[in-house]
Chain A
Amino acid sequence: MSVEPIKIGRTAGRALSRLSWRFVPAAPFLIVLLIWIVLWEVLHPSKETLPSVHDVVSTIHDLAVSGMLAQNVAASLGRLVLGSLFGIVSGVVAGFVVGLNRNIAEMFNPIVVFFNAISGIVWLPLMMTWVGIGTVLIVFLIWNTVFFIVFQNTVLGVQMVPEVLEQGVRSLGASRLETLRTVTLPGALPYILTGIRSGLGFGWRALIAAELVGAASGLGTMIFNAAEYHRSDIIISGCLIIGIIAMIMDRWLLLPIERRTVQRWGLVSDAEEER
């Protein structure tokens, strides 16, 4: 929240600079678009190598009209939600258990470090032999990815709550559970939400990677199948949609939630730094 500077005169110039400030984020996208158009006009590559902008737009339109897009997006998002839910719940619960107990934390640390290093996509071949291709496999991989990030952040958050606060509330007669609910949880919440936010980012990436070979539907499957028929227009459309969904999820869903929590329970300056 920066204070608006008092302005006398030069209003038009300021308005202009504020306007350009608003729209600069679009610049790199426009530049890439321009390069793409020029490259295509100069080289006239085959459709398999590089489709024209027009091809990609009409492919996105076709995919949307035929319902294929909605179907694949729904499949991917459904798996993401399911896997993330498992990951968040188990990560927060395990994080509280470990975070509240220093001995357990010390004991589990080496194992957490190791399994964190192989979280996600590394499990693909093993889980493919165990559960086969399909939703169970993908949900497991997302759970595995999200769990470790949420878990580590929860542990950190719980450990960051000053013990004095917990003891203070307890000495006033609160039960252990009540203290957890009213002191530790709100105190750790900003960290937990940061964990959830980056966990979902990782989860989304793991999802696409896993779907390339481990599923029969979804955005990852869509682009991987397109590669077999050399349909680069579908691949590019798919990548654009993957990026847009990731951005919508992060900017308009998770960031606002995180910001609000941080403002309510955490240090406000942190929220500003994230901007």
Chain B
Amino acid sequence: MGRKPKETGTIHNRLAVLRAERALSRQQLADAIGVNFQTIGYLERGDYSPSLELAFRLSEFFDLPIEAIFAREPFAPMTRESLVREEAP
């Protein structure tokens, strides 16, 4: 058996959109989940992938499932997603 390939994939997220929806500053979100405001910026920019624990904290804070906030593939724009949902029977 060969060596397991090192995973280097980026974790995409919707933090910036969710934060803007709730009119929160980075500092406010950072204070709410107990991290530095720079970390929120790094998460939004994709410079840092969160631990499972931090992902759960964000999920609880936004009251959304983790997969609604984080994904391994880039998210489609939210407007398009909501339109598709509305058109579905």
Q: A and B: real partners? A: no
